[in-house]
Structures are given as C-alpha cells and as structure tokens.
C-alpha cells in the first residue's frame, strides 16, 4: 500500500494551479473536466504519480469558495532551505504567514505559506535519516 494523493477543494482552479506550479514549483500532471458531474480535477506534484504522492485539486463548477473548518491542518513540503524558500515564495507573490525559524521548543526549522483558498502549507528543512 502507498498514499496516492491528498484532495483539496478550490474555488478558482486556474489561480490554484498557478500558485502550486509557479510559486511552489509543482508540475501539472493531468487535468480533466467532468461535465456530467460539473467538476474538474487537476493533479499536481513534484514527480510522476506512479512513484510520488500528489495533490488533487477539485473544482466544483459554480462554487467560488469553501469554509475551512477546523479539522484539516496542513500539507507539509520538504525544502532544502526554509529561509531561501520563503524568500523565493514572497518574491513570486506568495504569502508567508509564519516566517522561517525554529519550531517552539525544537531546533526544527519551519515556515507556513497560505494558498489562494486559505489552506496552510508547512515548509520543513531537509532532514537526514528520515523516519
């Protein structure tokens, strides 16, 4: 077994695809309209779906936004350097909502970025000996 994807509902699919590709560096792997169901799916990631977990963006036609609720936390992305990733994201117009720095009570460096729909993305520095 393996984790295939995480799905997020988005209000403006093109804006979200632009954020994840232009600001976070993912690739649009596939996109398909489902006219009978009135929705579009887009799959994005850093590598092919056959070997990587990816992000599924679902746009329900005619829905401009969603309530975030309080159950979902965040998506985490590993980066080489959290500080430089934040600088790059801000330079491209992304919103860093928690600047890079150590997690409270830890030496782990992290930051948080917000996507166009308000979902949080945690940036974590690369670690050796993952597990």
Residues tagged active-site:
122
Residue 61: count other Cβ atoms within 10 Å of its Cβ.
Answer: 12
Distance CA 56, CA 30 (A): 10
Distance CA 29, CA 44 (A): 5
């Amino acid at each position: 077994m393996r984790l295939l994807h995480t799905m997020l509902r988005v209000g403006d699919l093109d804006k979200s695809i632009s954020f994840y590709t232009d600001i976070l560096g993912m690739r649009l792997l596939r996109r398909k309209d489902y006219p009978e169901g009135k929705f579009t799916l887009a799959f994005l990631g850093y590598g092919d779906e056959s070997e990587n977990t990816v992000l599924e963006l679902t746009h329900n036609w005619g829905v401009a936004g969603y309530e975030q609720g309080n159950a979902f936390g965040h998506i985490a992305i590993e980066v080489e350097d959290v500080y430089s990733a934040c600088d790059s994201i801000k330079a491209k117009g992304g919103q860093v909502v928690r600047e890079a720095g150590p997690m409270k009570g830890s030496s782990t460096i992290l930051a948080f970025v917000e996507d166009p729909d308000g979902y949080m993305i945690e940036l974590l520095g690369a670690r050796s000996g993952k597990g």
